[in-house]
Amino acid sequence: MQPVYTLEELAKFLNRPAKEIQKLAEKDVLKGRKFQGKWVFALADVVLWMEKEMTQVEIDKTVDLENAVSRASGESEEEVSLASLLDVQTIDLSFSAKTKSSIINEIVKLPEQVGKLWDAGAMAKALLEREEMASTALDHGVAIMHPRRPQADIISDDFLTLAIARKPVPFGGGFANETDVFFLLCCQTDVSYLRTLGKLARTLKTPGFLDELRQCPDAEAVVDLFRKTEQELS
């Protein structure tokens, strides 16, 4: 059964005033429902809202959300290392897939071939279901694909995979929203997913990062770029 937050619990989790959370719910920005006259929020809906917040708001607000997740979870506050989650064997800088389904089916093969993912078919299905809910494509030609809920039983550990297409392709919003940089982010828990997503969003928002990423000559250069940018953000 999915965890459910009361208005007060969610406000404490996010370290925000309860009135602010209630306004978001009333405007249907954050999906919630009334139960016996009081607002309640399903974890899956909170995660969907936090995804949008982390990828669309300013860097300082993204940091606030990351910190809120860390405090509320009780997990170690050791900072996520994207460079450590990347593997040069799961980075493809000449991705040739051209349709949404082929992109998903091809990108899952990268972690599968090095033993990070045990069931590529099941992951592809979960990714497609998530895309059918709402596209994970963002501005600036980037998509951060992920399953709606953690698939802990088919992944060996948290990992991040990257594929850059030779030419941008329609992925989320038709020809007006072409995408060439595709990430696959898989984590064991919702908490680790949100913390990693926040760190990735901050990294992508770093001025000049995407331009440098697209110009990387090989996978080793990609990992080095992430490591350098993360050091600058710390």
- Residue 74 CB coordination number (10 Å): 8
- pLDDT value at position 211? 95
**Domains of the chain as residue ranges with CATH:** 4-56 (1.10.1660), 82-233 (3.40.930.10)
Q: Name the burial class of residue 36, with classes exposed (0-12), middle (13-18) and buried (19+) by CB atoms within 10 angstroms of its CB.
A: exposed
Spatial CA neighbour of 43 closest among 74, 12, 3: 3
- pLDDT value at position 170? 87
**pLDDT-derived band at 66, boundaries 50, 70, 90:** low
- pLDDT value at position 1? 43
**Residues above pLDDT 70, as percent of the chain:** 86
Quote the CA–CA distance of 144 and 136 in Å, as a whole number.
6
pTM: 0.80
